């Protein structure tokens, strides 16, 4: 029976395949084989024997037998070693795990999981970036109401919003490329990191082992890879999750009944509420927000896993089995969901325009104030005059323009016709269009340099 929701509700099959038990054990086995292959280079045993053993073991990994041994000896890696020794001939069995410590095998296998996970995340980041970039282009001229503090502010464009998010996702893509060589690292350095068991052959054996599993050897380690490596990885996932939650939160706000500017995909037979048939809830965006909080929640536990006694203790082990697996699977899942939401996002242009004009020009008050200042009025006086006009417009339920044209001080500097043009939202967008075009160009360039 399944216990954890990741098993039956959250996560993609491709990411779960990397972190499931079968994959984990296979990777541990491959690290042990990698050590054997490295030892053949130094003449410890024959390459032919190791190649034969590799073919035999990869086809026949018996998880139940490994667990049976572990139940007896209470040590997972030694159970694996004993199991491999049962299947190997005497020559190979003699050298299995030679000179290694458990975390040489564990940390190196983890490095392959992180490497493969980052490949999936990078692929999806590029998809999301293309979606946002395309929407930034498509909607760069779609003027909408900007909001600060949840209140109506200056006009902006939907293209600008998408470009803002695209810029942030682009930085995550750059971060991923930068951190990959630091976090995809393994080791083969023995009990305290000195490679004493290998003698002067330590560097070569480690390099050959890592070459086989296709990760870089860490620069230096104790019994374990320094956990700042995993802290950087988890922090990156948490940072990315936070961006996804920020996007989802904005989309949730824009889907509120009284706003109604966007809608996430809603299937033909989808049910929004068990009791209110009319409901069309933003459940995917809400799910992204919910799981992002879980991901961020693992940052502190992972940092605490860096603080170990001397060359190491075991207080990190149980925590990291949960932290690395859950954080990676959940991040990949909400990234997949973010792509789904944004690819299928519906914008209601009629409502966007209605909301933009609902304040009857009040949100263009800054434009009037600054224009008065440019034409000779003291800035603070201009602020007060426009503020008073805005208050009167609200009280009388009129447009801001109707109140502005009643003010003689304003009319001395700006004609009614000019005031009408100044209070048009599309006339007060500054460099919004150019900034969108700049972001689109930069992201297109970035994507062209990422394989």
Which residues does the annotation mark as catalytic? Answer: 149, 273
Give burial (CB, 10 Å; 0-12/13-18/19+) of 148: exposed
Structure tokens at 160: 């600008």
Structure tokens at 421: 């043009």
Could you give the CA distance from residue 186 to residue 109 in angstroms, rounded to a whole number?
A: 8
Choose among 220, 215, 132: nearest CA to 172. Answer: 132
Could you give the CA distance from residue 43 to residue 41 in angstroms, rounded to a whole number?
A: 6
Helix (H) or strand (E) holding 132: helix 102-138
Could you give the CA distance from residue 238 to residue 245 in angstroms, rounded to a whole number?
A: 10
List, in order, residues 6 or more apart from 297 with CB less than 8 Å away: none
Choose among 37, 32, 38: nearest CA to 102. Answer: 32
Choose among 178, 20, 206: nearest CA to 113. Answer: 20
Report residue 290: phi and psi, to 5°.
Answer: -65, -50
Structure tokens at 285: 């965006």
Structure tokens at 344: 């299928």
Q: For the range 124-128, what are the long-range contacts, defined as Cβ-Cβ under 8 Å and sequence gap of 24 or more?
A: 124/332, 124/335, 124/336, 124/339, 125/169, 125/172, 125/173, 125/176, 125/240, 125/335, 126/173, 126/447, 126/450, 127/339, 128/169, 128/335, 128/338, 128/339, 128/342
Choose among 286, 120, 103, 269: nearest CA to 191. Answer: 103
């Amino acid at each position: 029976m399944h216990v954890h929701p990741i098993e039956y509700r959250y996560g993609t099959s491709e990411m779960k395949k990397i972190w499931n038990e079968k994959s984990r054990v296979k990777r541990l086995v491959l690290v042990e084989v990698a050590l054997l292959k490295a030892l053949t280079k130094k003449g410890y045993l024959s390459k032919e024997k190791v190649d034969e053993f590799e073919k035999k073991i990869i086809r026949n990994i018996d998880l139940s037998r490994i667990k049976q041994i572990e139940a007896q000896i209470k040590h997972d890696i030694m159970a694996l070693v004993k199991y491999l020794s049962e299947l190997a001939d005497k020559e190979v069995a003699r050298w299995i795990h030679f000179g290694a410590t458990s975390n040489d095998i564990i940390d190196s296998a983890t490095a392959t999981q992180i490497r493969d996970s980052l490949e999936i995340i990078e692929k999806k980041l590029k998809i999301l970036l293309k979606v946002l970039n395309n929407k930034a282009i498509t909607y760069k001229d779609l003027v909408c109401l900007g909001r600060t503090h949840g209140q109506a502010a200056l006009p902006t464009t939907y293209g600008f919003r998408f470009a803002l998010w695209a810029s942030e996702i682009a930085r995550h893509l750059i971060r991923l490329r930068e951190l990959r060589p630091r976090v995809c690292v393994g080791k083969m350095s023995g009990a305290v990191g000195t490679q004493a068991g290998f003698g002067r052959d330590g560097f070569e054996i480690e390099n050959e082992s890592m070459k086989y599993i296709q990760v870089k050897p860490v620069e230096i380690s104790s019994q374990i890879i320094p956990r700042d490596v995993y802290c950087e990885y988890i922090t990156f996932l948490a940072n990315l999750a936070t961006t996804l939650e920020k996007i989802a939160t904005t989309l949730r706000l824009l889907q509120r009944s009284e706003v109604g500017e966007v809608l996430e995909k809603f299937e033909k037979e989808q049910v929004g509420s068990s009791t209110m048939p009319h409901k069309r809830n933003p459940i995917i965006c809400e799910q992204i927000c919910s799981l992002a909080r879980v991901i961020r929640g693992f940052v502190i536990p992972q940092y605490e896993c860096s603080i170990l006694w001397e060359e190491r203790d075991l207080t990190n082990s149980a925590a990291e089995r949960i932290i690395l697996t859950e954080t990676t699977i959940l991040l990949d899942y909400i990234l997949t969901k973010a792509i789904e939401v944004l690819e299928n996002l519906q914008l209601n242009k009629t409502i966007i325009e209605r909301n933009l004009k609902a304040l009857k020009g009040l949100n263009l008050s800054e434009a009037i104030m600054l224009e008065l200042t440019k034409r000779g009025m003291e800035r603070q006086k201009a602020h007060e005059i426009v503020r008073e006009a805005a208050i009167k417009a609200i009280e009388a339920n009129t447009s801001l323009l109707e109140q502005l044209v009643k003010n003689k001080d304003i009319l001395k500097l700006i004609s009614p016709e000019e005031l009408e043009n100044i209070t048009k939202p599309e006339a007060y967008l500054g460099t919004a269009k150019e900034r969108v075009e700049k972001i689109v160009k930069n992201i297109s360039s970035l994507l062209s340099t990422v394989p």
